[in-house]
Amino acid sequence: MKYLITGVKGQLGYDIVRELEKRDEHEYLALDAEEMDITDRDKVREVIMEYQPDAIFHCAAYTAVDKAEDNVETCEKVNVEGTRNIAEAAREVGSKLIYLSTDYVFDGTKEGKYVPEDPTNPKSVYGKTKYLGELEALKVLKHYIVRISWVFGINGHNFIKTMLKLAETHDAVSVVSDQVGSPTYTVDLARLLVDMAHADRYGIYHATNEGECSWADFAEYIFKANGKDTKVNHITSEEYPQKAYRPRNSRLSKDKLVENGFDLLPTWQDAVDRYSEELNKVYVKGAK
C-alpha cells in the first residue's frame, strides 16, 4: 500500500511514519508544511495526483486551541479549507482518508460517555473548524474520522512535557480537576490508524487510551511515573481561566472500535509509563 501523511513534523504524523517503518511498509510520502502547505489547493492536488496514495493520514492541523480564538481565519483556512483540499484530491484518486478530529466537537455537557453518533456542539473556534473538517472528510467515500483527545507524542509539545518542565522549578503545581477525559499516546494511536488503513470498516470512531482521569489525576501520575515528588493542587476550571472553551466531560466511548474488530489501546497509565521511558531515552541522546 502507498500512504501519504500530512503534518509529519507534528506528534502524530511522526509516529505514523515510525509505525509504518516498524511494519516494514516503506512506500509512503510524509510531508511537512513547507513541502506541502495544505491550504494551497493546486499544490495539494498536484502532489496527490502524482503520488496516487491508497490511504492518506491527514494529521496536519492548526492545533493552538487558545490562539485560535484570535486567529479565526488562519485556523479555518488550515482546518477547513486545508481538509477540503485533501478530501477533494483523495476523492479524485480514490484514496482512503483518515482524518483526525477531536473531543472539542462536543460541548462536554453530556452525563455519560460520548458515542460517535452523539450530536456535536463545538464551542471553540478550534472545535468548530475541526467539525467542519469532519464534514469535508465525510464527502470521501472511504473515510475514517477518528476523534481523539489529550494527545501526547515524542515529537511536539504536550501536557506531559509541560508538567515535567514545571517540576524542574516548582514543588507544587495547580491543575484543573473538573475536566475529565482520556489521554492518547500517538504510538498506540498510530498502530490503530495503520490497522484502519488496511481495513475497509469506514466511519466515525472515537479512539483514546483506555481509562479516564482529570487533568489533575493525569499530572499526579506523570510525576509518579517520572520519580518527581511535585505536589498537585486540584483546582476548578473557574480558577484557571483559558481563552478557549474546554469541555468538562471529554469521555469518549470506544465501543465502536470493538464492534468493528479493531484493538483497543492500552490503558493511559501504561502509555504514560512507556512514554516516560521514551522521553528519558531521547534526553540521554541529547535531543531537544
Ligand X SMILES: NC(=O)c1ccc[n+]([C@@H]2O[C@H](COP(=O)([O-])OP(=O)(O)OC[C@H]3O[C@@H](n4cnc5c(N)ncnc54)[C@H](OP(=O)(O)O)[C@@H]3O)[C@@H](O)[C@H]2O)c1
Q: How distant, in Å, are the alpha carbons of 53, 186, 192, 206, 271 from that of 265?
A: 27, 10, 8, 11, 9
181 binds ligand X, rule: CB under 6 A: no
130 binds ligand X, rule: CB under 6 A: yes
Q: Contacts with ligand X: how many residues (CB under 6 A)?
A: 26
116 binds ligand X, rule: CB under 6 A: no
Grid coordinates standing for 287? 535531543
Q: How far is the CB of 216 from ligand X (least distance, A)?
A: 17
Give the nearest residue (CB) to ligand X. 10
Number of other CB atoms surrounding residue 276 within 10 Å: 18
Q: How far is the CB of 186 from ligand X (least distance, A)?
A: 7
Of the candidate residues 3, 150, 215, 262, the single one contacting ligand X (CB under 6 A) = 150
Are residues 208 and 150 in contact, defined by beta-carbon separation less than 8 angstroms? yes
CA angle at 63 for the pair 200 and 3, rounded to the nearest 5°: 30
Q: How many residues does the chain have?
A: 288
Q: How far is the CB of 10 from ligand X (least distance, A)?
A: 2
164 binds ligand X, rule: CB under 6 A: no
Largest CA distance in the chain: 55
Q: Which residues contact 164 (CB under 8 A, 6 or more apart)?
A: 222, 226, 228, 279
Of 7-15, 114-122, 170-178, 221-229, the segment contacting ligand X by CB under 6 A is 7-15
**Site track for ligand X across 57-96, x = CB under 6 A:** --xxxxx--------------x---x--------------
149 binds ligand X, rule: CB under 6 A: yes
Return the residues of window 11-50 that contact ligand X according to CB under 6 A: 11-12, 32-33, 37-39
Annotated active-site residue 205? The verdict is no
H-type alpha helices, the chain: 11-22, 41-51, 65-68, 72-76, 82-93, 125-138, 159-169, 186-198, 215-225, 255-259, 268-284
Closest to ligand X by CB, 227 vs 247, is: 247
Closest of 240, 208, 213, 242 to residue 225, by C-alpha: 213
Calpha distance 143→222 (Å, rounded): 35
Catalytic residue among 126, 131, 205, 245: 126
Of 49-57, 144-152, 172-180, 250-258, the segment contacting ligand X by CB under 6 A is 144-152
Distance of CA 19 to the CA centre of its chain: 16
Interface residues toward ligand X, by CB under 6 A: 6-7, 9-12, 32-33, 37-39, 59-63, 78, 82, 100, 102, 130, 148-151, 156
| Residues belonging to the active site | 126
